[in-house]
Amino acid sequence: MAFTLREIVARLGGEAVGEVAAPLTGVATLDSAGPSHLTFLANPRYRSRLAGTRAGAVIVGPRDRDAATVPRIVSDNPYAYYAKAVALFHPEAPASPGVHPSAQVDAGAIVDAGAEIGPFVSVGAGSRIGAGVRIGAGCVIGANVTIGERTRLHPRVTVYDGCRLGARCIVHSGAVIGADGFGMAREGERWVKIPQVGAVRIGDDVEIGANTTIDRGALDDTVIEDGVKLDNQIQIGHNVRIGAHTAMAGCAAVAGSTRIGRHCAIGGAARIIGHLTIADHVTISAAAVVTKSITRAGTYAGTLPSAPSREWAKTVARLRSLDRLTKRIRDLEKRLPVKRKR
Amino acid sequence: MAFTLREIVARLGGEAVGEVAAPLTGVATLDSAGPSHLTFLANPRYRSRLAGTRAGAVIVGPRDRDAATVPRIVSDNPYAYYAKAVALFHPEAPASPGVHPSAQVDAGAIVDAGAEIGPFVSVGAGSRIGAGVRIGAGCVIGANVTIGERTRLHPRVTVYDGCRLGARCIVHSGAVIGADGFGMAREGERWVKIPQVGAVRIGDDVEIGANTTIDRGALDDTVIEDGVKLDNQIQIGHNVRIGAHTAMAGCAAVAGSTRIGRHCAIGGAARIIGHLTIADHVTISAAAVVTKSITRAGTYAGTLPSAPSREWAKTVARLRSLDRLTKRIRDLEKRLPVKRKR
Amino acid sequence: MAFTLREIVARLGGEAVGEVAAPLTGVATLDSAGPSHLTFLANPRYRSRLAGTRAGAVIVGPRDRDAATVPRIVSDNPYAYYAKAVALFHPEAPASPGVHPSAQVDAGAIVDAGAEIGPFVSVGAGSRIGAGVRIGAGCVIGANVTIGERTRLHPRVTVYDGCRLGARCIVHSGAVIGADGFGMAREGERWVKIPQVGAVRIGDDVEIGANTTIDRGALDDTVIEDGVKLDNQIQIGHNVRIGAHTAMAGCAAVAGSTRIGRHCAIGGAARIIGHLTIADHVTISAAAVVTKSITRAGTYAGTLPSAPSREWAKTVARLRSLDRLTKRIRDLEKRLPVKRKR
């Protein structure tokens, strides 16, 4: 597959500058691109590398329109343009409609004729699989599950009974949607399980990473709104609600009943405890632990950066000696004559 | 399925107050319950919502016996009562005995006639599957595995060779029981693998969450005692022992050879390093890191709450300036006349 | 299977001292070993237990050559010797060549005649499976995957299209290799997916733990070099490179584009943010968060140990009061007469 700059801007927009008729065969980074590659400059930090690139063409922002001499595409959003250019060179394979002979689809399930069901997949009674859906090898779809049009489940995804996924979602291998939330009541010294009878409701255009787990609700549903992007190994507790277009990086975790707003960005390995409310447009930095509700948009942090071990040991010791330090200050204050004015 | 208050207390105990003959069709939260729903008040924080509920009946504690006007069940433990009421309305489906024709059960395995083996399951030689066991689609049971009566494995669980699960356990999708512990010896600049020849031994009434991993022991076994409840994405290292009725929330991790007592409550994402001993009845708060053995029951914490980024940056800076601060105090102490008495 | 000390040193080296002809049937810990067991003393901390062991023989270092009276093997590296002794008593089962009749191997895949393909495995077009490879039940191997000689995939591993594993690797159940990296561009208030068209390239002798995820690269590959050992539930972001013989303990996570050196030891649950460079021979302690590149070999830490809750609450309060404390010191400095000399 090859495209000229002229063909690319015809499909994706932007302005082509310089040689527009040479064929390009793919997208590559500034450093590794060769003469047949399109590359991109989205982060000004890498601007100096522009001079040295061997790329056949480059996507730049308006500010860099004239910084480059190589053929280029000028776009207001070079990073999004790059995303679309990669998609142009690497189009998603469409569904190959049909149910693999090894799959076990319950007679009471409704599978659209345009859906692709892979080997060793099982689909339970009452489930509805939409048009253009692709379900990879070894997925297990429970009973009464709904999967919207053109959603793709990579291999080995589990969707428990009664959960619903919208259209155009992508779910990566090993994800588990709808396992029981962690609900137990103490009775004496034992735990009584609280049956988890809510489900998981996932909107359209949601992406769910590998081995991520989203628990079903206790009574009401756990809800993932449209356009949410979840990276790998994320844990979403029961009855959580994640607002539309929020993105969470790998290993983040949200405990039960917390509501996260729309357009939030949750850093990798961030931890949000249960029963909180996080406002819209909140950014949480990587590995921070959120213990209180956040009512205002903004950026929140909470991680101590690591340090050489000896230095770190001193930090820990100092922190522990703060009590004594405070006492020494109090002593000094007592020994000083009373201040007259201030 | 519908029950009247009278029928519910006949089965679950407690005292019915008010209208006892109206049919109820399910359990719902205080906020979402309608006239045909039973709801519950377990947390006094939500007491004010009692007045506004549209529920047909409510489970309350003795203190709230007369606070409510709606029909109600009075129980000493309304939360546990709620758990049982949900189970009453949503009884677990029993096993549908039989081996799915697609399953691969080794001729040397012993599967009870009352067990249910789902599609695409494989069971190795020498394994014993008890009565009433349900094994979901795509589970892989190694050789010489024992699974006790009425234990349920949800789809896509792996149990490695030689591991044993007790009765009435619940294991969620994606859990891996008995993978190798992380044991290696250095030899020059390379690692020599230490074969992990212990197994995993799991008691009765244990619940294991989605994508949780429990490693087999190096020489002796990793042991999970009766009634332990593990949430999702928990990692249990080799030769760990977890005492009976301890509960661990999502993403907690326990490194090798640590022993955790009975009746502990380990918060989500808490980390416990290896070779420690944790006493009985210890509570660890969410995201805390435990680096030393804990010999006394009690509550332990260790997380710095996140804050707005600028404020947090100051905290980090101050922490780093503690050395200088200490020096300034020492200077002040030197400059003050020696204290006579105290 | 039984070996005498004489047979063991003939195979594994070292010096046998004392009775060398008695048969030993296995390896056990100092505490649990009986008269037919070989045990080992690798950690001087446990030296006192040597006197009480009932073991038939013990592996010791040169310093303990005469400390023990039981028959013994003297080795410069008793821990590595122990590893090899366990492997002697518990040899890995070789592949049982052949493709299970239930497996789905694409006609365009090349499976070596000496490879073992388990039940419910699918292998895509263009993939090459080497000699002696074992692929466990329910694994999903995409298209154009290469798996080197004698590599073992435990059950339920996913390898996405185009990824390559070297020889003699071990991959545990639930691992996902080659899922999409978390790449998105903002466009207005929505996210545009950046197709991830790099792959994952894994060297020889790599071990990958249960439910670990290694994302494919965005444009270039994610690279795991020879001899790397990854424990369970590790997350490796796209375009990460991990240097040869580095070991990472459970639940560690490395964000995108970070490069980790050779011979590093990354503690459990350590978090390394994206776009960093970590030098060779760096040790990161458990649960530390690395936020900056590390240019020098050494040990780095960053975790505050947990404490009893009330004590911890004080620590947090003191940390927050540092501003006021600093002000009090400044006040004291103002109130003291100017220092003459120092």
Chain C nearest-CA distance from A166, in A, is 17
| Residue B61, helix vs strand vs coil | coil
CB–CB of A201/A221 below 8 Å? yes
Alpha helices in A77-149 (DSSP H): 78-89
Whether pLDDT at A340 is above 80: no
**Per-position pLDDT tens, chain B of length 342:** 899 999 999 999 999 999 999 999 999 999 999 999 999 999 888 888 888 899 999 999 999 998 878 999 999 999 999 999 999 999 998 889 999 999 999 999 999 999 999 999 999 999 999 999 999 999 999 999 999 999 999 999 999 999 999 999 999 999 999 999 999 999 998 999 999 999 999 999 999 999 999 999 999 999 999 999 999 999 999 999 999 999 999 999 999 999 999 999 999 999 999 999 999 999 999 999 999 999 999 999 999 999 999 999 998 988 888 888 888 988 888 887 655 554
Catalytic residue among A37, A154, A172, A238: A238
Contact at CB, C191 and A245, closer than 8 angstroms: yes
Across the interface, which of B158, B192, B305 has its CB nearest the CB of C156? Answer: B158
The three-state (H, E, C) secondary structure of chain C, written as one string: CCEEHHHHHHHHCCEEECCCCCEECEECCCCCCCCCEEEECCCHHHHHHHCCCCCCEEEECHHHCCCCCCCEEECCCHHHHHHHHHHHHCCCCCCCCEECCCCEECCCCEECCCCEECCCCEECCCCEECCCCEECCCCEECCCCEECCCCEECCCCEECCCCEECCCCEECCCCEEEECCCCEEEECCEEEECCCCCCEEECCCCEECCCCEEECCCCCCEEECCCCEECCCCEECCCCEECCCCEECCCCEECCCCEECCCCEECCCCEECCCCEECCCEEECCCCEECCCECCCEEEECCCCCEEHHHHHHHHHHHHCHHHHHHHHHHHHHHCCCCCCC
Determine which of B104, B120, B192, B213 to mutate to test the interface with C (most C C-beta atoms within 10 Å). B213
Chain B nearest-CA distance from A178, in A, is 9
DSSP label at residue B50:
G
Residue numbers in B near C137 (CB within 8 A):
104, 122, 140
Whether pLDDT at A230 is above 70: yes
Measured between alpha carbons, how far is residue B156 from residues A176, A315, B33 in Å? 10, 45, 35
Alpha helices in A90-212 (DSSP H): none
Question: In this complex, how many residue pairs, one in chain B and one in chain C, have their CB atoms less than 8 Å apart?
Answer: 216
Residue numbers in C near A305 (CB within 8 A):
289-292, 302
Catalytic residue among C238, C245, C275, C281: C238
Backbone Cα Rg of chain C: 27
pLDDT digits (tens, 9 = 90+) for A113-131: 999 999 999 999 999 999 9
Across the interface, which of A189, A271, A288 has its CB nearest the CB of B263? Answer: A189
**Which positions of B are catalytic?**
238
Question: In this complex, how many residue pairs, one in chain A and one in chain B, have their CB atoms less than 8 Å apart?
Answer: 217
Determine which of C39, C40, C153, C173 to mutate to test the interface with B (most B C-beta atoms within 10 Å). C173
Contact at CB, A286 and C271, closer than 8 angstroms: yes
Contact at CB, B220 and C32, closer than 8 angstroms: yes
Q: What are A37's strand-pairing partners?
A: A26
Contacts of B137 (CB under 8 A, 6+ apart): A104, A122, A140, B118, B119, B120, B121, B155, B156
Distance (Å, whole) CA B251 – CA B239: 19
Residues in chain C: 342
Contact at CB, C104 and A90, closer than 8 angstroms: no
| Residue B114, helix vs strand vs coil | coil
Residues in chain A: 342
CB–CB of C212/B176 below 8 Å? no
Using the structure block, give the residue that is written with the tokens 């949780």: B212
CB–CB of C157/C123 below 8 Å? no
Across the interface, which of B179, B299, B325 has its CB nearest the CB of C326? Answer: B325
Report which secondary-structure segment, H or E, holds B80.
helix B78-89
Across the interface, which of A29, A83, A322 has its CB nearest the CB of C194? Answer: A83
Chain A nearest-CA distance from B101, in A, is 11
Determine which of B77, B90, B173 to mutate to test the interface with A (most A C-beta atoms within 10 Å). B173
Residue numbers in A near C290 (CB within 8 A):
305-306
Backbone angles phi, psi at A99, to 5 degrees: -105, 125
Distance (Å, whole) CA A107 – CA A124: 8
CB–CB of C253/A268 below 8 Å? yes
**pLDDT number for residue C342:** 47
CB–CB of B70/B88 below 8 Å? no
User: Is-above-0.90 flag for pTM?
Assistant: yes
Distance (Å, whole) CA C161 – CA C126: 10
In b/e form, how buried is each residue of A129-162, taking b as 16+ CB within 10 angstroms?
A: bbebbbbbbbbbbbebbbbbbbbbbbbbbbbbbb
% helix, strand, coil for chain B, step of 5: 15, 30, 55
Across the interface, which of A215, A290, A292 has its CB nearest the CB of B232? Answer: A215
| Residue B295, helix vs strand vs coil | coil
Chain B nearest-CA distance from A71, in A, is 41
Chain C nearest-CA distance from B256, in A, is 10
pLDDT digits (tens, 9 = 90+) for C43-99: 888 888 888 899 999 999 999 998 878 999 999 999 999 999 999 999 998 889 999
- The structure tokens listed for B146 are 């024992």
CB–CB of B108/B114 below 8 Å? no
Determine which of B89, B232, B326, B336 to mutate to test the interface with A (most A C-beta atoms within 10 Å). B232
Distance (Å, whole) CA C56 – CA C65: 16
- Average pLDDT for residues A254-269, to the nearest whole number? 98
Report which secondary-structure segment, H or E, holds A333.
helix A322-335
| Residue A296, helix vs strand vs coil | coil
Chain C nearest-CA distance from A211, in A, is 7
**pLDDT number for residue B94:** 87
User: Would you say the ipTM is above 0.85?
Assistant: yes
Q: How many CB atoms lie within 10 A of CB B54?
A: 14
Residues of chain A above pLDDT 70, percent: 98
CB–CB of C231/C252 below 8 Å? yes
Contact at CB, A179 and B232, closer than 8 angstroms: yes
